[in-house]
Chains A and B, each alone.
Chain A
Amino acid sequence: MNSRRASYTLGFGVALLALLAGSVLAASWLSPNDPLAMNVGARLQQPSMEHWLGTDRFGRDILTRTLHGGQTTLISCGLALLSAVLIGLLLGALAGMFHGSLFDIALMRIIDVLLAFPFMVFAMVIAALFGTSLFHLLLAVVVVWWVGFARLTRSLVLQAKNSTTVDAARVLGTSKSVILFRELLPQAFGPVLVLATFELGNLILAIAALSFLGLGSQPPSPEWGSMLADGRAHFMTSPHVLLGPALWIILTVLAFNCIGEGLRDRIDPYEKARIG
C-alpha cells in the first residue's frame, strides 16, 4: 500500500515507545519521590505543580507510581509474551514440518481445546483457584497465548512448504534443516513479528482489565493494573486518580499498534517493488 504512510506510522510508534520506555526506565531519576511514601495529609489531591498527576488515597504521588509501576508491567508482559511467541514458533514450525503426523494432529486438538477457553475465563479460573496475583495472570497468558502464534507459524510453514521456492531448494539438493532455516522460518518471522506487536498491546490491555477487577498484582507495590483497581473506588469523585496509569497504558498500546501497522505494511518483500 502506501509505504510512506507505513514508515511514518512505524516511526511514530517507535518514537512513542522509546519515550515511554525511557520515562519508565528512568523513573527514579525523573521523579525522586518514593513511590511507596504515604502522606495522609495530602490524599486525593488534584494535579498540581508539586504532584503533576495528583495523589492517590494514601497521598502517594501518582506520576511517580505510574513511572515505577511501568517497569513491572512492561517487563512482565514482555517476558510473558516472549515465552508465548517462542513456544508458539517452535510448536507451530514442528507441526508444519511434520504435517499430518501424530504430533501435528495432537497439537491441533490441544489448540482447539484452548481456543474454547476465552482468555478472560481461563485467567479468572486460575485466579480463583490459585489466588490473585500478577504472576498467576502471566502464567495464564503463557498457557493460552502461544496458540495464536503456533497456528500462524504452522500455516505459514505449510504454505511455504508447497511454494516453488522450497521446491527449487529441494531440486538443488538443499538439506531439510537448511530449508527450515533459510526458506521456511524467515517466511514466518515477519508475520509472527507483526502479530506479536499487536498481541503485546492486547496483552497489556487484558492484564489491565483483569487487574482493574482486582485479579492482578496486589497493593502496595506500584503496577498500572493495581493502581487502576486501587483508584476505582474514588474515580467518581476524583477522576484524576486513574489518569496516570490509564494514560500510560493507552500510549503504550498505541505505540505497539502503530509499530504493528507500520510493520505489516512493509513485510511483503514484493510489495515495494510491485509496479502498476
Chain B
Amino acid sequence: MIGRNSLFGPLDPAPDAGYEAPPPRKGFFTDTSVCIGCKACEVACKEWNDVPENLFQMLGTSYDNSHSLNANQWRHVAFIERPGRSTAPDQPDRLADPATPPVDIGMPTVGAPPSGVPDEAKPDFQWLMSSDVCKHCTHAACLDVCPTGSLFRSEFGTVVVQDDICNGCGYCVAACPYGVIDRRTGPEGDPSVGIAQKCTLCYDRLTDGQRPACAAACPTESIVYGDVEQLRQQANERVAALHEQGVMDARLYGNDPEDGVGGTGAFFLLLDEPEVYGLPPDPVVTTKDLPHMFTRAGMAGTALLIGAALSFVRRRS
C-alpha cells in the first residue's frame, strides 16, 4: 500500500515495502566519542564484501587516506584535528611567533557555527574520529529513483543494491543527499565495475542472524549494530551520560524520525557540528516532492491514457 508517509515523515520502512511481520528494523549507532580511528571497520568491510582497493594516495587530511564514501569505500573514517583554545600563552608554538598565520594542515574548511559551549569548558586540542557509512535512510532517494528495482528495501529496513539487476544508470548517485552511493569504476576486471555500490549492512550476514562485519570488528564498540528502536534509546542514554560528564558537545545526528529523511537507520553521536565531520547539516530526501510531482504527472498520464483509450475505442467502433 502507499501510506501517508511513504515518501516523507516518520515510517517503519519494511512493512511499507510489502513485508508482512518483518524483523525489527536494523541499523548502526556509531558513537564517535569512543572511536579510535583504527579503520578496522573499513578493512573488515572490504574483506567481507570483496570491496577492492580505493586509492593508494596520501591525502594529508590527518590520517584519512580513504577520502570519502564511494563505490570502493563503504566505510570511511574521518579524522579531524580540532585546534584547542590553546591560544594558550604558555604554548611555545604560539609564543614563538604570534604574528605568523597558522599553517594549513588540510582540514576541511567548512566552518562550523559556534557550539554554544563556553570556550573554557571545551577540551583542549581534540582529534575527532568518526566512521561514516550509508545512512540506510527511512526515505531513501536512491531507492525511490532506481528504475530497475536493483535498489530495494530489505526486510530489515535496510537499503541494498542487487548487483544482478543494476544496469548502471546512475540515477541513484545523484539522488543521495549524503553522496554515499557511487558506481564502481575500477580496478579493471572487477565484476562490479559500472554498477552502483554501497554498504548493504551486510545483508547476507543479517539473513543468518550475524552482525555486519564492521560492527563485529569494531574494537571499542564505536559501531553498534542492533534494532533501530533500541539503538535510539541507547544513543539518548549515551548523550545524557556524556553531558553529565561535561562533554556538552555531544549530540546525535540522524536519529530523528522527523528529519528530512525520516531518520536514518545508521545514525551517529558526534562531538561537534555535522559539517566538521563532512556530513550535511540538514539532509532532505531528494524525492520529498515526489507525491506532488506524481499527482501532476499522474494527471498528465491519465489524460494521455484516456486519450489513447478514446482513440482505441474510436478505432474499434
A and B assemble together: no
B residues sitting closer than 8 Å to A (CB atoms) are none
A residues sitting closer than 8 Å to B (CB atoms) are none
